[in-house]
Amino acid sequence: MLLSLDIERVEPLADGAEFGATGAYERVIGRARGEVDPAHPGNAGIALIDKAPLNARGRVEYETDVFILRPRDPARGNGRILYEVNNRGRKMLFGNIADGPQGINDPKTLADVGNGFPMRQGYTIVWSGWDPDAPRANMGLGLTAPVATDGGQPIVREIREEFCSGTRGGALEVFKLSYEANTLEQTRARLTLRERADDEPRELPLNQWSFADARTVRLREGNKPRPGWLYEIHYEAKNPKVQALGFAATRDLVSYLRHDPAALAATGGKVSHALAIGFSQAGRYLRHHLSDGFNRDEQGRRVFDGIYSHIAGIGRIFFNTPFAQPARTGTQHEDHDFPENWFPFSTASVTDPLTGQSGSLLRGDGSDPMLIETNTSTEYWQKGASLLHTDPLGSRDLALPGTCRVYMIAGTQHGGRAGATTDPGPNVNPRNPHSPMPAVRALLVALDAWVVSGTAPPPSRVPTLADGTLVAPDSTGFPAVPGAAVVTRTNRVAPPGDWVHPVPAEKAYRTLVCKVDGDGNEVAGIRLPDIAVPLATYTGWNEYKPPYPAGEIADRDGSCLPFATDKAARDAAGDPRPSVAERYRSGADYVAKVEAVVKQLVADRLLLAEDAARFIERARNEPRVAP
Rg of the chain, C-alpha, whole Å: 25
> Residue 221 pLDDT > 90, yes or no?
no
CA dihedral sign of residues 141, 22, 100, 419 = positive
* Segment 570-583 mean pLDDT: 98
Check residue 624 and report its DSSP letter: T
Per-residue 3-state assignment (H helix, E strand, C coil) for 580-612: HHHHCCCHHHHHHHHHHHHHHHHHCCCCCHHHH
* Segment 168-172 mean pLDDT: 91
pLDDT of residue 222: 79
Residues 6+ away with beta carbon under 8 Å from 438? 528, 607, 608, 611, 614, 615
Domain boundaries, the chain: 2-145+243-453, 156-238
Terminal alpha carbon distance of the chain = 63
Q: What percent of the chain has pLDDT over 70?
A: 100
pLDDT of residue 429: 98
At residue 582 the predicted structure's pLDDT band, cuts being 50, 70 and 90, is very high
Can you tell me the distance from the alpha carbon of 38 to that of 588, in angstroms, rounded to the nearest whole number? 66
Residue pLDDT, tens place only, 470-479: 999 999 999 9
pLDDT of residue 597: 98
CB neighbour burial string for 91-109, b if at least 16 within 10 angstroms, e if fewer:
bbbbbbbbbbeeebbebee
Q: Which CATH superfamily is domain 2-145+243-453 in?
A: Alpha/Beta hydrolase fold, catalytic domain (3.40.50.1820)
pLDDT of residue 169: 84
* Segment 152-170 mean pLDDT: 96
Q: Mean pLDDT, the chain, as a whole number?
A: 97
pTM summary value? 0.98
pLDDT of residue 183: 98
Q: By C-alpha distance, which of 103, 160, 105 is closest to 129?
A: 105
At residue 279 the predicted structure's pLDDT band, cuts being 50, 70 and 90, is very high
At residue 403 the predicted structure's pLDDT band, cuts being 50, 70 and 90, is very high
- Any idea of the CA torsion for 414, 416, 420, 426, to the nearest 10 degrees? 10
Q: By C-alpha distance, which of 221, 33, 199 is closest to 128?
A: 33
Residue pLDDT, tens place only, 406-440: 999 999 999 999 999 999 999 999 999 999 999 99
* 123 residue type, one letter: Y
